[in-house]
A = this chain, B = another copy of it.
Amino acid sequence: MDKPNLIVLLTDFGLYDPFVGIMKGVIKSVNPSVEIIDLSHQVKPHSIKEGAFFLYISYKYFPKGSIFVVVVDPGVGSEREILLYKTSDYYFLAPNNGVLSYILPPESVVLKIGGETFKFFPKSEDERIVKIENENFFLKPVSRTFHGRDIFAPVAAYISLGVRMEEFGEEFKGEMIKIPFPRLKYIDQKLYGEVIYSDRFGNLITNIDEESLNKFLNGLKPIINFKNVEIFGLKNSYSEAKKGEPLAIINSFNYLEISVREGSAVEKFLAKEGDEIIVEKI
């Protein structure tokens, strides 16, 4: 891996309060020369699932060596662990609350939700995980409510200075919390998915990935049923539809998306997370 050189922040702090600015102040106080990039600070308050999804669709576009700091942390101040997970390409500093779920290799975690269990086995010398415990790297006194400032920010800055992982704490041998990704269902030759997220434009992103869709369609054409509307086929660009017309498209993260050209599918359909989408084939 390249030398750690860039800190990427992902939080649910918003941009109204000075919290993100303060974190940057702390980082710069420790390492004046590290660069900081905001991934998003508008994760819905306490939405671990949304934070996990944002991280998942984003991290691979950043330079090798980037340090991702994820502070979506409703359990701040409780006994939840703070983990530093290092892969061959990146560092991830986050609470152990599921926010790393979708970037973890499926077989490398212990899953405790829904009764299923997988063991965590680091894959290579490069892949490691430690529990952040060494208070020498914390801002003291550590507050009860703002570990972003007192733990995440300074620890990230020390990582960027080249402090070795083992300095921060012992190898983590516990269980990593993992939130399951909403599953696709196949019933009577129909594919059932759901809306998992809507973006600024009101586009509805579903849990139906391109690969699963193509496998299901097997060369046939899709009819997409959503909220009493039937959409025939997929478009190759938004502009293939008429203004205001609904369309389906494979989006830039390879998921099926319901959109309205130059309009908002959220508003048109009064749609929300969890709404069902059914794909048939002809």
Question: Once the chains are docked, how many angstroms separate the CA of A143 from the CA of B253?
Answer: 8
The 9 A-B pairs of least Cβ separation, nearest first, read A77-B237, A146-B252, A143-B252, A21-B39, A14-B200, A25-B62, A78-B239, A16-B42, A25-B61
From A32, which residue of chain B is reached at the shortest CB distance?
A: B63
How many Å lie between the Cα of A249 and that of B146 in the bound state?
A: 12
Q: Which residue of B lies closest to A42 (CB)?
A: B16
Report A28-58 CB contacts with B as 1/0, cut-off 8 Å.
Answer: 1100100101111110011000000010011
B32, B80, B252: the one within 8 Å of A144 (CB): B252
CB of A56, distance to nearest CB on chain B (Å): 10
**Any B CB within 8 A of the CB of A76:** yes
Closest to A264 in B: B45
Report the bound CA distance from A21 to B59 in whole Å: 10
Q: Is A178 an interface residue (CB 8 A)?
A: no
Chain A window 87-109, contacts with chain B (Cβ cutoff 8 Å), 1 for yes, 0 for no: 00000000000000000000000
Contacts of A6 in B (CB 8 A): 28, 32
List 28 contacting pairs A-B, 8 Å CB cutoff, sorted by A.
A10-B18, A12-B200, A14-B200, A15-B38, A17-B40, A18-B54, A19-B199, A21-B37, A21-B40, A22-B61, A25-B63, A26-B61, A28-B35, A29-B62, A32-B63, A46-B201, A61-B149, A74-B261, A74-B262, A76-B237, A76-B238, A77-B236, A78-B238, A143-B252, A144-B250, A145-B251, A149-B252, A150-B252
> How many monomers of this protein are in the complex?
3
Give chain A's interface residues, CB within 8 Å of chain B: 5-6, 8, 10, 12-22, 24-26, 28-29, 32, 35, 37-42, 45-46, 54, 57-58, 61-63, 66, 74-78, 80, 143-146, 149-150, 199-202, 235-240, 249-252, 257, 261-262, 264
